[in-house]
Amino acid sequence: MTSRAEITEGLAEILEEVAGVNPGDVAEEKSFTDDLDVDSLSMVEVVVAAEEKFGVKIPDDEVQNLKTVGDAVSFIEKAQA
Partner 1 sequence: MTVSDVVVTGLGATTPLGGDVASTWEAMLAGRSGVTPLTQEWAQQLPVRIAAQLAVEPSEVMDRVKLRRLDRSEAVALIAAHQAWKDAGLAPATADASAANAAGMDPERLAVVVGSGIGGVQTLLAQDDILEQSGPRRVSPHTVPMLMPNGPAAWIGLELGAKAGVHSPASACATGAEAIAWSLDIIRAGRADIVVAGGTEAVIAALPIAGFASMRAMSTRNDEPERASRPWDRARDGFVLGEGSGAVVLERAEHAAARGARVYARLAGAGMTSDGYDMVQPDPQGAGGARAISLALRDSGLAKTDIVHVNAHATSTPTGDMAEVIGLRAVLGDHMVLTSTKSMHGHLLGAAGALESIATILAIYHGVVPPTINLDDPEDGLLDVAAHKARPMDVPAALNNSFGFGGHNAALIFAHA
Q: How far apart are CA 41 and CA 24, in angstroms?
A: 22
Q: What type of residue is 2? A: T
Q: How many helices (H) and strands (E) does the chain have?
A: 4, 0
Pick the catalytic residue from 37, 39, 60, 61.
39
Provide the 3-class DSSP secondary structure of residue 68.
strand
Does position 18 interact with partner 1 (CB under 8 A)? The reply is yes
34 belongs to the catalytic site: no
Site for partner 1 in 40-69 (CB under 8 A): 41-42, 44-45, 48
Closer CB to partner 1, 7 or 43, in the complex: 43
Determine which residue in the list 4, 5, 9, 20 makes contact with partner 1, applying CB under 8 A. Answer: 20
Catalytic residue numbers read 39
